[in-house]
Structures are given as structure tokens and as C-alpha cells.
Structure 1
């Protein structure tokens, strides 16, 4: 894999002012967002390094932020219709503790192209891109190479584990926020089953029809995994559309590559002593708390350290208080507290 990193300043950077600082107090460097670009598999990706205010010459803990599934850009958005700003808000929360961060436009989002691919990249390609981003973060002059962190949301939590497995210079910490914790299509199976159950409870769907569709979803997944033709014609239109989108020519290769990964198996290879955080929201219907134990057991078996599991009462998959509009730009206070607890060993008091 070819890898190159180029930084382009978009704001104040450490310079001559630091050299002129008083002997007893290094100059204060104001917070800045810096545009960066890097290359993975011949495709240039673009991102933002957020550097909080700090004293000149001080090295900072540095976190790579990895978004969830779909066409999600560096800010955690899928414009124009979905803009919760999940990653940009996480960058701000980390900055409050003096932790710098890098977030980037993954393939097909923001300024980053598809690299000439006619369909979605597979999981290995997305992971190589994230590994290149990790190397770019490590190369930033303000970054402390002994305090590199990876923070992943949803599918990004699985990719954080894959990055940890792939890199030589291991992260000191992994924050897995509402992470994908089981095989992709097992997750899709229970997510669709849950949606059907909720429709029955709300009186919008007959129970017998829901049972038939559950069986149909399980059968379609088994056929896809076995390489057989998949027939969704007898399913509810909304259910059929969800499966057809995943199993069609654009996404099938990615879905197969993701579904081949069992997250707890990857977690078993995390280095002993790695500080880990795993969150689950009690109102998260995508990754409910009941599915987390195998991942937690794998991390415990790897002899990782805390804070470990943080259950977030009343919080949904987007780290919102339940009932918040999906694209509301907010991170729930409980999620922020969990993140602050995770970075406590690397916290630096706000520069003043």
C-alpha cells in the first residue's frame, strides 16, 4: 500500500511565537483545525486534524475518529439529508480534555473519491484507508506517539479493532461507541426482526405476517451467505428494499467482507494493557446492550484495562437522548462523560 501524508495549515500553527516565549511559560498555541490529506491504495483521502489550545512544544494524546456505516463523511454526516455531526462533536469533546484528533472523509464521501471503483470498497480496503489515516495522525508534530487512540462509532468500532490488529505501533486506547459487536448479517437479522415486532406492537402489522417476514429474512440471509439466488419478492416492500440494497451489485462485496468478521474474534488480539471503553445505550435498537457480552468477554480475555463497559441510560444509537431527531447535532451528556473517563490518563488541563 502506498502511503503519503501532506498537511495544509488552515489556521494558526506553532511558530516563531513559541521561540520568543518567556522561559518560565511556553507560549500558548491557540486551537486550530488543520486540513490534511493522505493516500491509501492510490486514492487521496482528505480529513481534519483538530488541535486544542496547548502550550508550545507540548505533545498531545491523539485520537483517530472512525465513522459508522454508509456514506458517512469526516463530520459523521451523510449530506444533504443527514447531519448529526457525530464525529465533529466527538472531536470537540476530546479537545476539551486536551486530546487532538483526526477525522477523515472515507471513500465516496466529502472530498474523497471512490478510487475508480464501480462499487463499494470491501472491509479490507476501508481498513487500509483507516490505517493510513492512523499513520498520518501519528506523523503530526503535536502528536504524542506513545498516546495514540482510536475512537470508532457503530461499524467504526469494528474497524477500530481491525486497525489495532493491522498496525505495528499499537494504540494505547480503543473507544468503541455503540460498536458493531457481531457478524453484520446476524445484526441485520435481529434489527429487522425488532422492527417487525415494534410494528406489531404499534398495531401497524399483523403478527402472522411479521412471523412470515422474519422467516423470510433469515432464509434470504442464509441464501446470500451460501452464494444462492436470493428471493425477496414475498417480503414487505420496506424489508425487501433493505435486503436488496445490501445484496445488490453495489454493496454485495462489502457486505460479504464485513459479514465474514466476528468482532469478538478480532478483540481477542488486542494487546494486554490497552485501555478500552465500550458503550451501549439502553434505547439503542441497532446495537442493544444484550448483544455486547461476547465482545466484552473477548476484551477481558485479552487483559485490556478500563473503564470497560459504560451503559448509557436513555441513549440511542446516535448517542442522542431517546426521542431526539436523528440529525440533531448533539452528543448526550452521558456519552460525553464516558469519553472523558476514557481519556482521563491523557487529559491535559485547558491551556490558559
Structure 2
């Protein structure tokens, strides 16, 4: 009887499968987590920087947000494919030189992953779950819709995503700089937004405006999340925590205003890594390094309920 119970438990457990997606100059890698009888499948798109498929980063983030989200959705009957984006972790070899990277590459990869996830799960399409900068990647991935792989996207789940252009948010972050450095930074952003490189960025801002990263910034800065969302006609869920110290409720509201049909959910006391956290910065950031802290109550349940409802339609 005990061996039968163990066998049944094994059959009921979600199956984790390593996925390799052909790409140039090297393959991309991810993990497909499939519960028995999955009702839908989603691709989890990571945020900015060296964030891996589990939601961790060598820059001090070990919250395991994407792994926890995948496991929670599996419990709700939804399969997920979480990925190492181009140039990061197991997909490091697929990354081009910094000077050759463009935002469109991430969007194209998202479409390819959606098609792969749908095929693997035997579904007509896959949902895109974009977290932080991944939300903008998801929005860009469905822009235009002229790529056949765009039809493989069921809809969008935007979690802690910016609702305003990056230039607006960068200016907010740089407002504390003393003059004339602040003016120089703003002038550099204006040039990059116009598609022009900055030959001699201020020395104090060399890390932000280094020549090798400027082509990527030029491809990224003009993107307006609200405008991209207004042009999309698929189902959209917008989730935002009220104690997020990186992206604010104002951004979720801007996205919701762009798409009156979208579902907006504000999670009280939830931060950027989707965990229950205080508003004070030190206590908030402490959750970034705690993989044992679960996702905040309601986050996974709300996302799963939205996917199930719209998948049924």
C-alpha cells in the first residue's frame, strides 16, 4: 500500500524538463514545469540585468521568485516555461557583444519561447508572464503581430511592470544628482531617445552611458509601455504590489488606463519580488535575499484564476 501511495504521488507531481531552444550563436535554455492535465502553459520572462530563470541574480537577489511562481502555478494546474534569457546563466553563450544587443532580440526570443511552450504542452498558444522589465519584453513581443509566432501568445500577465517610458523613470531616479551633472545626464538621455549616440558622456555617469551600451539604450528608451498595451487586443492581467520600491502603483494605473479591458490587481503590502514586505527600504530589501520566504498570498492564485478563466474562453 505504501509503495502504491508513493507511485500515485509521483504521478501527481509536476514534471520538470530541461528545454533547449535552437538559436544563434548558441541555444537558449529553460525549464518546463508541467503538472498532470495542465489547463494552460505560460512563459515567465525575467526582469532586467543578469536575472536567471529562477528569478535570482548575482547582484544580491536570491528570492527565487520565478521558481516559486512556477511551482505555485503548477499547483493550480498551469504549466510554465521559465527561461535564462539571452546572455544570462545557461544561455550565456547566446548573448552577443554588448554593443550588438538590441531590445528587439528579447522580444523575438519571447515569441519563440511562446511557440515552443505551446508545442511542448500541446496547447494552441502560451501566455507571457513578464516581470519587471520582462513586462515590457512581453508587450514588445506582441507589438505589430506580423510575426507568425505572435499568434502563439494567448495573452499577457504583466507583473510589477513599468507603465511609463524608461527615460521618464530614469529621470526620476537621477533627479537627486547635483547640477550640472543632472543636466548633463538629462541631456544624454534626450540624445539617446532621439536615436543619437553620446560621444563623451559625463565621466561620473560612464557606467550608465558607456559607448558599448548606448545602442541598446537607443532601442529601449523610446518604448512606451502604455502605448504598446493600448495597441494590443488580447487579454491582459496587471499585477502590482503597494510596497514595491522599484516600480510604483502609478505605473500599474498607467497601464490599466491604456487598456480599460485589462484586469488590474493591486496587492497590499507586496514588493517587487512579489513577497510580503514592509515599506521601509531595509526591511523590503531583506526579502530579496530570502528564497525560503513564499510569494505573497493571492499573487499566484490571482494569476492562475485569470489564466484559467480566459483559457476557458
TM-score range, shorter chain: 0.7 to 0.9
Structure 2 counterparts to residues 113-262 of structure 1, below 5 A: 113-115=92-94, 117-119=96-98, 121-140=101-120, 142-145=121-124, 148-165=126-143, 166=145, 167-193=149-175, 196=176, 214-226=182-194, 227=196, 228-233=198-203, 240=204, 243-262=205-224
- Following the alignment from structure 1 to structure 2, what is the Cα–Cα distance between the partners of residues 230 and 85? 39
Q: Where does the alignment leave 5 or more consecutive residues of structure 2 unmatched?
A: 1-9
Structure 2 counterparts to residues 338-349 of structure 1, below 5 A: 338-345=302-309
RMSD of aligned Cα (Å): 2.7
Q: Higher helix fraction: Structure 1 or Structure 2?
A: 2
Match of 2:64 in 1: 85
Q: 1:287 to 1:118 in 2, by over 3 A?
A: same
Structure 2 counterparts to residues 263-278 of structure 1, below 5 A: 263-271=225-233, 274-278=234-238
**What is the TM-score normalised by the length of structure 1?**
0.73
Secondary structure of 1:34's partner? strand
Q: Where does the alignment leave 5 or more consecutive residues of structure 1 unmatched?
A: 1-26, 197-208, 234-239
Q: 1:114 to 1:247 in 2, by over 3 A?
A: farther
Give the paired residue count.
287
1:312 equivalent to 2:263? Answer no
Q: 1:334 to 1:116 in 2, by over 3 A?
A: closer
- Following the alignment from structure 2 to structure 1, what is the Cα–Cα distance between the partners of residues 258 and 24? 31
Q: 1:80 to 1:229 in 2, by over 3 A?
A: closer
Q: 1:335 to 1:111 in 2, by over 3 A?
A: same
- Following the alignment from structure 2 to structure 1, what is the Cα–Cα distance between the partners of residues 299 and 53? 19
Secondary structure of 1:292's partner? helix
Greater C-alpha Rg: 1
- Following the alignment from structure 1 to structure 2, what is the Cα–Cα distance between the partners of residues 70 and 299? 28
Q: 1:282 to 1:191 in 2, by over 3 A?
A: farther
- Following the alignment from structure 2 to structure 1, what is the Cα–Cα distance between the partners of residues 13 and 269? 36
1:96 equivalent to 2:79? Answer no
Q: Which runs of 4+ in 1 moved over 6 A?
A: none
